[in-house]
Amino acid sequence: MGIIRFGTLLFGVSLLLACGGGGNSGSSVGTNPAPPVGNGDSGCAGSCANANSFLTVADIEQVIAQAVSEAQALGMPATITVVDRVGNVLGAYRMTGAPLTQKVSSESGISGGLEGLDVPSELTAISKAVTSIYFSSEGNAFGSRTAGQIAQEHFNPGDITAPSGPLFGVQFSQLPCSDISQRFNGVGPDAGPHRTAIGLAADPGGLPLYKAGVPVGAVGISADPIYGVDRFAGDIDTNIDEIIAVAGTYGFAAPLDRQADTITAGGLTLRYADLEFSDLARDPATAPPYTSLGPGDGAVFPIPEFFSGTIARGMAFGQPESGIRPEPTLFPGLDAFVVVDNNNVNRFPPIDGTDGPNALTSNEVLTLLSESLAIANKTRAQVRKPLGSPAGETVVVVDTNGVVLGIVRSRDALVDAVDVTTQKARTAAFFSSRYAAADIDAVPPVTFFSSTLDLANGVVALNSSGTSDPSTFVTALQNFIPQPGALTDGSIAYSNRAIGNLSRPFYPDGVEGRPPGPFSLPIDQWSVFNTGLELDLDYTQIALFVAYYLQQAGLTVTIDGNVVDPLSDSPRNCTGIDRLPNGFTLFGGSVPIYRDGVLVGAIGSSGDGTDQSDLVAFLGLHNAGVALGGAIGNAPTTMRADTLVPRGARLLYVQCPQSPFLNSTEQYVCEGK
């Protein structure tokens, strides 16, 4: 496959300190103690956020000043971004001499996909910041390093005996072409959640910011040459971007008992940051104030499509201004939240389906959402403190056209889930249909590019260097199962977990030496930046958005020597497939919905553990069907993907946790449903 490179500048890295410690669990900086936020139990369990829970302009300036001070001590000028909890870019500061690009690279020798893409540093910094805050809550603090740990082909990364991470493939969420994530309005912060430029980050350098135990934003740093991923979880890294980010969090550090290195998943401890405050080159408590920064240090700068150029306060999460607020009328007694626009209007209220006489009704959608949220409220969270907390989940229902029929959320559910849960629901509906093969076959071959950035002349030169045809993955599936009618006859009900099984670089998952699933590339071509069908459907719009962004920055873009006319911002469709506009994703949490054996849509859930999300979607659908007198329900057992045993290994459908409920000893709650 070809690659697309925007820029060829490489910048040396000077590592001026050695980091110690097994995570950001320290509480001191030199001789100056850290602020109380970061010691002991935060006391927050999902209900602390209020109208005063936001980053002020002074807060943002403090974060920037502390990051600048550390970067200066290291001799590594950086691009610094600060976002709020719903992804508004509140501040962007470029230090004098900071690298203008970071090269996308897994440093594994892989080419193709996004590997080799040179992306403006401000865009990678935004992705790191958004990733860390979208994966954090009052119950858990995750950094972009944590995201990279749980999105790779092995969990833990580097352990070749282990299956893939619990959020395998999540890096291609929050894309610039999503129809769910909001655009920046060009003036200032507004209702979210908001998009990124190239998806979520697997690269260290993004960390959440907390005030009084509440996540209020994040800082993202780009200073070294690489936008990559930590491929080995068993060592301590010296990552310049992460070092500067840690300095920026001083005074806004996540509570110690909420940081990822105090949380386990699948029996493994997660990672947060590979250094403590005491490892920094300079005490951030003594950082010169923001007002002391002058033109020689750097400057705040606008980012087309993301930031106006004026530092602004963040939105208070859970308040209408943030785009997520309570909805007690539709969902009484469930502590439910919904996604709203700038006028406080519910963007995704329960509506009738759009796909014919069998379509789901608005009442059925409301019942599906209510029953699923009720399951979440009594389900034990996997990755949330304090132990024994209920799962924070987002639930989405779609019809067979991919139209969102309704969304509801728990109070403190992850912000990432608004987009990714929609991906999940659409994935189950799409691949369970009769039209999936035809829709994929209709997507034109994807053209990959190689390119160079001529800064002196302001020209980005793109050259065609290869193609990939998405239809080949359809043929691969039909041969793999084997079933000539796969994706054409609607005879198999695919859950998101089953599609994920088919998209791993090993089948069965994690078994080295086995061939890939039919939707994946072989392991010698696979990386987190080159996954197969998942990325190929999104690649064109990601690449075009970066080209569009560079045009907004005043550069001329050429393709094969021809000047490209001014491009438009990304359409609200990443794939060219109307039923799959924000792409698809590869980890569990969604199932198709049937009425008398006929596909009518799908339900997805995402939040505090992949198995928990499977449970909420699957059992929520079952309970809704019971409440509706059997009008709808789960797929007939004879249709489910776990009836297939390709290559001698059975596909999975759902995987529900044992004894999942709080204050209950009930087990095997998904059996027989």
Structure tokens given for 412: 């403190």
> Total domain count for the chain?
2
Q: Quick one: pLDDT at residue 140?
A: 97
Type and span of the H or E element at 599: strand 598-606
Average confidence (pLDDT) over 94-99: 96
Rounded-to-integer distance, Cα 554 and Cα 146, Å: 35
Q: Quick one: pLDDT at residue 26?
A: 31
Q: Let me know if residue 249 belongs to a domain.
A: yes
Q: Is the dihedral of CA 432, 438, 444, 450 positive or negative?
A: positive
Phi, psi of 604 (to 5 degrees): -130, 155
Residue 640 in this model has a pLDDT that exceeds 80? yes
Average confidence (pLDDT) over 6-13: 27
Q: Let me know if residue 463 belongs to a domain.
A: no
Rounded-to-integer distance, Cα 207 and Cα 143, Å: 5
Task: Give how far Cα 415 sits from Cα of 138, 179, 421, 573, Å.
Answer: 12, 16, 10, 21
How many C-beta atoms lie closer than 10 Å to residue 666's C-beta? Answer: 9
**Same domain membership, residue 291 and residue 341:** no
Given pLDDT bands bounded at 50, 70 and 90, which one contains residue 41?
low
Rounded-to-integer distance, Cα 226 and Cα 203, Å: 9
Partners of 532 in the beta sheet? 520
Structure tokens given for 595: 């009425």
Q: Let me know if residue 256 belongs to a domain.
A: yes
Question: Angle 362-378/610-627 helices, nearest 10 degrees?
Answer: 130
Phi, psi of 277 (to 5 degrees): -55, -35
**Same domain membership, residue 242 and residue 349:** no
Angle (CA) 648 651 655, round 5°: 135
Residue 241 in this model has a pLDDT that exceeds 80? yes
Q: Let me know if residue 412 belongs to a domain.
A: yes
Q: Let me know if residue 102 belongs to a domain.
A: yes
In sequence order, which residues have a C-beta less than 8 Å from that of residue 561 and are 6 or more positions away?
461
User: Could you tell me how far CA 668 lies from the centroid of its own chain?
Assistant: 30
**Same domain membership, residue 378 and residue 296:** no
Rounded-to-integer distance, Cα 535 and Cα 491, Å: 26
How many C-beta atoms lie closer than 10 Å to residue 269's C-beta? Answer: 16
**Same domain membership, residue 251 and residue 372:** no
Helix (H, G, I), strand (E, B) or coil at 119: strand
Q: Quick one: pLDDT at residue 490?
A: 97
Residue 206 in this model has a pLDDT that exceeds 60? yes
Residue 155 in this model has a pLDDT that exceeds 50? yes
Which residue type, as a one-letter code, is found at position 633? Answer: G
- 103 vs 136, higher pLDDT: 136
Q: Quick one: pLDDT at residue 101?
A: 87
Range of the domain at 382: 334-430+589-648
Helices (H), 230-314: 240-248
Look up the CATH number of the domain holding residue 85: 3.30.450.150
Q: Let me know if residue 255 belongs to a domain.
A: yes
* Pick from 75, 123, 119: nearest CA to 95: 75
How many C-beta atoms lie closer than 10 Å to residue 101's C-beta? Answer: 26
Residue 563: exposure state from Cβ atoms within 10 A (0-12, 13-18, ≥19)? exposed
Rounded-to-integer distance, Cα 133 and Cα 85, Å: 6
Given pLDDT bands bounded at 50, 70 and 90, which one contains residue 15?
very low
**Same domain membership, residue 201 and residue 123:** yes
Each residue's pLDDT tens digit, 19-33: 322 233 333 333 233
Average pLDDT value over all residues in the chain: 91
Type and span of the H or E element at 80: strand 79-84
Q: What is the DSSP letter of 434?
A: S
Residue 497: exposure state from Cβ atoms within 10 A (0-12, 13-18, ≥19)? buried
Q: Quick one: pLDDT at residue 447?
A: 87
| % of the chain residues with pLDDT over 70 | 93
Q: Quick one: pLDDT at residue 4?
A: 26
**Same domain membership, residue 180 and residue 61:** yes
Q: Let me know if residue 534 belongs to a domain.
A: no
Residue 661: exposure state from Cβ atoms within 10 A (0-12, 13-18, ≥19)? middle
The per-type count for the chain, helices as H runs and strands as E runs, is 11, 22
Q: Quick one: pLDDT at residue 5?
A: 25
Q: Quick one: pLDDT at residue 19?
A: 30
Rounded-to-integer distance, Cα 437 and Cα 445, Å: 15
Peptide bond into 390 cis (omega under 30): no
* Contact yes or no for 670/615 (Cβ under 8 A): yes
**Same domain membership, residue 412 and residue 272:** no
How many C-beta atoms lie closer than 10 Å to residue 482's C-beta? Answer: 10
* Contact yes or no for 165/154 (Cβ under 8 A): yes
How many C-beta atoms lie closer than 10 Å to residue 552's C-beta? Answer: 14
**Same domain membership, residue 52 and residue 113:** yes
**Same domain membership, residue 137 and residue 53:** yes
Q: Is the dihedral of CA 282, 283, 284, 287 positive or negative?
A: negative
Rounded-to-integer distance, Cα 177 and Cα 182, Å: 10
Average confidence (pLDDT) over 168-177: 96
Each residue's pLDDT tens digit, 415-466: 999 999 999 999 999 999 999 999 999 999 998 776 667 766 788 887 777 7
Helix (H, G, I), strand (E, B) or coil at 550: helix
Structure tokens given for 129: 């910041």
Side-chain-side CA neighbours of residue 35 (13 Å): 15
Residue 13 in this model has a pLDDT that exceeds 60? no
Q: Quick one: pLDDT at residue 455?
A: 66
Residue 201 in this model has a pLDDT that exceeds 70? yes
Each residue's pLDDT tens digit, 300-359: 999 999 999 999 999 999 999 999 999 999 999 999 999 999 999 999 999 999 999 999
Question: DSSP string spanning 527-542?
Answer: BTTB-BHHHHHHHHHH
**Same domain membership, residue 291 and residue 353:** no
**Same domain membership, residue 278 and residue 132:** yes
The pTM assigned to this predicted structure is 0.93
* Rg of the chain over all Cα atoms, to the nearest angstrom: 23
* Pick from 179, 6, 130, 118: nearest CA to 574: 179
Average confidence (pLDDT) over 560-571: 90
* Pick from 338, 299, 554, 581: nearest CA to 443: 581
Residue 219: exposure state from Cβ atoms within 10 A (0-12, 13-18, ≥19)? buried
Q: Quick one: pLDDT at residue 448?
A: 77
Helices (H), 361-520: 362-378, 417-431, 436-441, 471-480, 496-501
Given pLDDT bands bounded at 50, 70 and 90, which one contains residue 403?
very high
Rounded-to-integer distance, Cα 125 and Cα 197, Å: 10
**Same domain membership, residue 348 and residue 288:** no
- Expressed in angstroms, the distance from the first to the final Cα of the chain is 44
Average confidence (pLDDT) over 160-189: 93
151, 154, 155, 160 alpha-carbon torsion, rounded to 10°: -160
Q: Quick one: pLDDT at residue 2?
A: 26
Rounded-to-integer distance, Cα 44 and Cα 268, Å: 24
Among 251, 276, 300, identify where a domain stops. 300
| % of the chain residues with pLDDT over 90 | 82
Rounded-to-integer distance, Cα 533 and Cα 504, Å: 11
Q: Let me know if residue 382 belongs to a domain.
A: yes
Rounded-to-integer distance, Cα 424 and Cα 432, Å: 12
Each residue's pLDDT tens digit, 471-514: 999 999 999 999 999 999 999 999 999 999 999 999 999 999 99
Q: Quick one: pLDDT at residue 40?
A: 53
